[in-house]
Amino acid sequence: MLNSRFSPSLCVLLGVSLTAQSFAAEANAPEPASQSASGSTVVNPVATKDIVIPSESKKVDVALDATNETSALPVNLMKPTKPSVFTRISRAVFFWRKPSPSEDSIPAEPTISVEIKGAPEVLATNLSETLKQVQVVEFEDFQSALPRLRSLATDAAQAVGYYTANFRFSKTDNRHLVVNVVPDTPVIVKSQNILITGEGETDKAYLRLQKSPDLVVGDPFNHGEYEKTKSKIQNLATERGYFKGRYITHDVQVTLPPKTADIILAYETGVRYAFGDVTYKSSNPNKKLPLKPSVLATMQPFKAGDPYQASDLAKLSRNLIDTRYFNNVQVDAPTPEAPSEDTLSGSEAKSTPAAGVNSLESSKPLTSADHPTIITPENKTKPSIPVVVILNADNPNSAEAGVGYGTDTGPRIRTQYRRALVNDSGHSFDANLELSQINHSLDLRYNIPMGNPLTDVVSIFGGYEDEVLNESNGLKVNTKTTTVGIQRTINPAGEWQRAYSLRYRGDVLENNAINVNPILLPPPFNVAGISSNQQALLAGFGLNQLISRGGANPTTGYRQFYQIDVASRSAFSDANMVILRAGIRALQTFADKHQVVISADVGTIITTDFNRVPYNLRFFAGGDQSIRGYDYKSLSSLVNGYEIGGQNLAVGSLEYNYLFKPKLRGAVFIDAGNAFDAKFNDPVKFGAGFGVRWASPVGPVRIDLAAGVSEKSPPIRLVFYIGAPL
């Protein structure tokens, strides 16, 4: 940073980027349950070969659709036709025009409305969503429609465990059906045995799934939850490299009476595949790779021979994109197809009379000895999956420009130029220019990766900043700072970020004390109209940690940082000093609507001659990131009525937000603190106010009306800020 006490206010920026980046990603298999328009989970009522229901008088085969095991929607739903590219472009341009029905799809035939009486919630929801499929034209002849209505209701009830429910249907008008339900008691899971054989038997992911299936003993038997567990077993095989995995059996035996279900899921994973060699290619075969293979290898979360994990491929893609080196990244890893359903052995369940049903011990895991159809392959050799990564870095230059407004800075213009890839060693270059009413700054930075470009980088930097502040009694202070230095930043994933730095800063301090008695001007202002030079060579070390959940608009999280800088008069510095700073930010949401935000910043300058400490290294308070209600850097220790900067800093804030509309929160807050002298003789200042928080796509937009309540005539400020408070 050019200024160690600089606390910038973020503003609205209307930026244009001249480059774009993309990456290829694989889609995961869908979950077996879907959400209805009302948000309720709908269980597929379609039947399959997995479930056998023995009864005292007859055997009834019921099952879940083997060809659509992950489906969760009611059958016969009409899917809209996907709009064309030209239609989507037209809508983006003419966004105010309501599209005609023909632009999306052929209108569906109207369907009936359904009212369910006497059923528990899970049964009522499934009945309602299933029966809503019936079209009005079918419903006109009620007597003819009754067999289908009863069939749909029976399937929907059995899907959530109510195998003996009774229904009475009545038609109130041509569009409205009332269903009176006598649900009876549901089928209860009596035992459940999940057996994983093959190399996956000891896989921690499968062990966790066995301990926490979607259905447990004592639950009502729900087809959708049963299918979820089945799908998870298969999905784990795909995600973790068991590509030849197959079900040996997936059976549910339902006994009526006594309304119990015994579940057996036996899955043979086979051998787990490993990653093969990783090959990097340029998208243009006539060009060499944009980055050395040794640098690319540092971003791989795996190496050849490691067990396959689909998440590692996604992480490799993200790592490459996050470097900002490439315009496009494509990661390909062709995987073999899993065995088809018709190759499974032992998947048919045997029906037995109720008196002869053998219940499995739910407390005892099933073993291969318990089920003779389970086959463990003899060949344990690990096959491998080759990985091919195609990279494009044809446009390494990008430029952005933005205009906006900040409460502390007024109107501002910001531009950025970036050379993402200077050479094949991964070097990059950034230039940032910012112009506002009170601040002109230029920052140049050349970055050299020491290993992984995302976690270990050395930056050589330099910059210039010209800032004008309004002091007390009409005094304007102009500081011109030149900074050069070097910094190494180490940022391991999920750990503390560490920064080691050495920077030299030279300050020119000027003032316009035309109507001020020079005798009253305290150091470091000196004589009116005469500039003074200040310098410091600072060796620094910083720790920073950020944990956040909720994306651009976090719902919970915290940040803490600690910084130490040391300077000596014997090494290009005006004073011997140690500067210590620390801060914490925390955000917590309760019951969705209530949110609390707290923050605290403290600091101290240890020195024997504070008058020689450069003005820009001293502490100041006030502004939209400090004590709201006071101007930017307007609070500090006073001498003869002039803010000379503080030797100590202590500032804290407490804020409460309430969600009164989606994406909108009301806020009340209080801020307190100051930049104090060595003995904390200065008064504590308070700011308070209220505001609005909007959860925008780019992060929280905060608008506050704040007052400096410690003053006899409290100053009122409108505060505008974009960005999370962490």
Q: What percent of the chain has pLDDT over 70?
A: 78
Please report the pLDDT score of residue 88 as a whole number: 57
Q: What is the pLDDT of residue 27?
A: 34
Please list, residue by residue across 79-103, b when 16 or more beta carbons sit within 10 angstroms of its beta carbon and e when fewer do: eeeeeeeeeeeeeeeeeeeeeeeee
Contact 481, 3 (CB under 8 A): yes
Is pLDDT of 374 > 80?
A: no
Q: What is the pLDDT of residues 134-183, one digit of tens each?
A: 999 989 999 999 999 999 999 999 999 999 999 999 999 989 999 999 99
Q: How far apart are CA 649 and CA 670, in angstroms?
A: 17
Q: How big is the CA angle at 701 (ends 697 and 707), to the nearest 5 degrees?
A: 175
Task: Provide the percentage of residues in the chain whose pLDDT is more than 90.
Answer: 65
Beta pairing partners, 482: 464, 506
Q: Which domain holds residue 674?
A: 397-722
> Mean per-residue pLDDT for 40-62?
44
**Residue 194 confidence (pLDDT) above 90:** yes
Burial of 313 (0-12, 13-18, 19+ CB in 10 A): buried
pLDDT (tens digit per residue) in 282-302: 999 888 999 999 999 999 999
Q: How far apart are CA 695 and CA 675, in angstroms?
A: 32
688 or 514, which is more confident? 688
Query: Looking at residue 635, what DSSP letter applies?
Result: B
One-letter amino acid of 164:
T
Is 178 contained in some domain?
Answer: yes
- On whether residue 150 sits in a domain, the answer given is yes
Q: For residue 349, is pLDDT > 70?
A: no
How deeply is 370 buried, as exposed, middle or buried, from its count of CB atoms within 10 A (0-12, 13-18, 19+)? middle
**Last-in-domain residue among 182, 210, 228:** 182
Give the model's confidence band at 693: pLDDT under 50 very low, under 70 low, under 90 confident, else very high: very high
For residue 542, the model assigns a pLDDT of 98
State how far Cα 67 lies from the chain centre: 34
- Does the structure show a pLDDT above 70 at 206? yes
Q: What is the mean pLDDT of residues 398-420?
A: 86
Mean pLDDT of the residues in the chain: 82
pLDDT at residue 21 in the model? 33
pLDDT given at position 468: 87
3-state SS class at 266: strand
Peptide bond just before 80 cis, omega within 30 deg: no
Residue 309 lies in a domain: no
Residue 519 placed within a domain: yes
DSSP state of 235: H
CA separation for the pair 638, 646 (Å, rounded): 9
> Last residue of a domain, which of 155, 182, 209?
182
Last residue of a domain, one of 160, 182, 204: 182
Q: What is the CATH classification number for the domain harbouring 409?
A: 2.40.160.50
Question: Would 304 be classed as within a structural domain?
Answer: no
Weakest mean pLDDT among 67-81, 197-211, 219-233, 464-478? 67-81
Give which of 455, 459, 450, 456 is closest to 428, Cα–Cα.
Answer: 459
State mean pLDDT over 574-597.
96
Pairing mode of beta strands 274-282, 384-392:
parallel
pLDDT at 10 over 70: no
Number of structural domains, the chain? 2
Residue 689 has pLDDT above 60, yes or no: yes
Residue 490 inside a domain? The answer is yes
> What pTM value is reported for the model?
0.74
561 found inside a domain: yes
Would you say 680 and 691 are in contact if contact means Cβ atoms under 8 Å apart? Answer: no
- Close Cβ partners of 547 (under 8 Å, ≥ 6 residues apart): 557, 558, 559
> Does residue 641 fall inside a structural domain?
yes
Mean pLDDT in residue range 233-253: 95
More confident call, 34 vs 666:
666
* Listed range (44-48, 496-500, 591-595) with the worst mean pLDDT: 44-48
Rg (CA), the chain: 34
